[in-house]
Amino acid sequence: MHTFEDVTPGETREFGTYQMSRDEILEFATQYDPQPFHLGDDHHAPYETVIASGWHTAAVTMRMLVKEYLQDAETLGSPGLNGLRWETPVTPGDTLSVRLTFGETEPWDEHRGIVTQEIETQNGDDETVMWMEAEVLYSRDS
């Protein structure tokens, strides 16, 4: 398991692939973010097609982070984000992946350390669709 002491500032990891389907985009939007441009082809203006909710993109990103990295790390949650941007709309058929870059590390207390993480979600054209900077708590070696 990766602990605070295992984190190397500047290290980058890339992982995950997840293809967004039209049905999934519509289902998520209907349940959680029913804005017209997320709900169907007749409401997508000013976009060329229906687009995924940014919150859906964030949830898919979190799933990839957990599956590919966090399940093997001794993380203890997060006090929050320093920033979150949706830069390019996600459309049906887009295949998403994640790039995680470790930033500053700082002891939090004797049992925990905090790590700044820059997380970029990209589509198959290597365009950044979402960017966030998170503060993540890790267990410290005792």
Cα three-residue angle 20-25-30, rounded to 5 degrees = 165
pLDDT of residue 37: 86
**Residue 75 to residues 14, 50, 78: CA-CA distances in angstroms?**
19, 35, 8
pTM: 0.92
pLDDT of residue 40: 78
pLDDT tens over the chain, length 142 residues: 789 999 999 999 999 999 999 999 999 999 999 998 898 767 656 788 899 999 999 999 999 999 999 889 999 999 999 999 999 999 999 999 999 999 999 999 999 999 999 999 999 999 999 999 999 999 998 7
pLDDT of residue 44: 59
Q: Residue ranges of the domains in the chain? A: 4-139
Helices (H), the chain: 22-32, 36-39, 54-68
What is the CATH T-level fold of the domain 4-139, as seen in this structure? Answer: Thiol Ester Dehydrase; Chain A (3.10.129)
pLDDT of residue 49: 87
